[in-house]
């Protein structure tokens, strides 16, 4: 009898659901460990910082870590079939998401008023108003993606991909910038940050292509739109006079 090949997992099948669950859990764990590597050095080696951690920054960091842990917990609950608990916790996640948005905005505004980032990883001192563009953009992006994911919470394939993009496309770029900022030789390579962000954005598409042999439209088009807007922000918005005027108005 000829051996049969199992072929690609079909969306919605038990095999694909188990595989997706493990994938999202692994991404959440990796994101948490990546953030530890990105923010840990400036916390441990305080002599390299431009200033001590303020209460606002500390609370922002705690909320950020709580979100990453919540992402992992939610993927485990979904993977193990505890959907009722997953949904109840999802309602509370909206409160944490709103808190994270407010804290990210306030932290960015305070950085702009101060004129530099406390860690010294971002090199914001040269142009603090321009440096505000990306954190504010990613704060807005996270809010939009989370809201869309919440509205599509009854359509699993869309919901989980929007949540993944909220993580990889909106929350991970700052850690990428901080990690590169630890190494002077990398900090000066302007193309590395977009490449790192692009790598995170591509994770979902790569998984879809390998597992289902097709890329879900949400994974493809929204990730592509984020990458284009990221580069537009970097090349056009940040250096523009219009942005500097707007940023100056925000911090006054």
pLDDT per residue, tens digit, the chain (252 aa), is 333 333 444 444 445 566 788 999 999 999 999 999 999 988 888 888 899 999 999 999 999 999 999 999 999 999 998 999 999 999 899 999 999 999 999 999 999 999 999 998 888 888 999 999 999 999 999 999 999 999 999 999 999 999 999 999 999 999 998 888 887 656 665 557 778 888 999 999 999 999 999 999 999 999 999 999 999 998 999 999 999 999 999 999
Is there a contact between 235 and 228 (Cβ–Cβ < 8 Å)?
no
Integer angstrom CA distances of residue 25 from 47, 77, 83, 108, 152: 35, 10, 15, 29, 20
Coil/strand/helix, residue 28: helix
Is there a contact between 24 and 73 (Cβ–Cβ < 8 Å)?
no
Quote the distance between the C-alpha of residue 216 and its chain's center: 19
Over the range 38-75, which residues count as b (16 or more CB within 10 Å of their CB) and which as e?
Answer: bbebbeeeeeebbeeeeeebeebbebbeebbebbbbbb
Cα gap 116→19, rounded to integer Å: 43
Residue 164 burial (C-beta neighbours within 10 Å; 0-12, 13-18, 19+): buried
Is there a contact between 97 and 66 (Cβ–Cβ < 8 Å)?
no
Its pTM stands at 0.89
What are 41-44's contacts with CB under 8 Å, separation 24+? 41/182, 42/119, 42/120, 42/121, 42/178, 42/182
Q: Which of 196, 212, 91, 99 is nearest to 161 (CA)?
A: 212
| DSSP H stretches of helix in the chain | 14-44, 55-79, 83-114, 128-131, 133-151, 156-165, 173-181, 184-187, 192-212, 217, 223-232, 241-251
């Amino acid at each position: 009898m000829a051996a049969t090949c199992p072929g690609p997992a079909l969306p919605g099948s038990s095999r694909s659901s188990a595989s997706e669950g493990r994938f999202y859990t692994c991404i959440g764990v990796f994101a948490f460990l990546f953030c530890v590597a990105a923010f840990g050095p400036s916390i441990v080696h305080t002599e390299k910082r431009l200033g001590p951690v303020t209460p606002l920054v500390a609370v922002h960091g705690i909320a950020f870590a709580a979100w990453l842990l919540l992402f992992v917990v939610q993927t485990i609950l979904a993977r193990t079939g505890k959907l009722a608990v997953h949904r109840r916790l999802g309602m509370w996640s909206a409160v944490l998401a709103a808190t994270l948005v407010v804290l990210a905005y306030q932290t960015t505004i305070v950085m702009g008023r101060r004129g530099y980032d406390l860690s010294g990883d971002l090199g914001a001192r040269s142009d603090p108003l321009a440096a505000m563009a990306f954190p504010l953009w990613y704060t807005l992006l996270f809010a939009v993606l989370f809201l869309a994911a919440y509205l599509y919470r009854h359509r699993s394939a869309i919901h989980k991909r929007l949540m993944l993009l909220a993580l990889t496309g909106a929350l991970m770029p700052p850690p990428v910038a901080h990690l590169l900022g630890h190494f002077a030789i990398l900090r000066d390579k302007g193309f590395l940050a977009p490449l790192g962000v692009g790598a995170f954005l591509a994770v979902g598409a790569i998984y879809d292509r390998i597992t289902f042999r097709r890329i879900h439209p949400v994974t493809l088009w929204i990730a592509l739109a984020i990458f284009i807007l990221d580069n537009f922000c970097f090349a056009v918005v940040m250096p523009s006079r219009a942005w500097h005027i707007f940023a100056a108005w925000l911090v006054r």
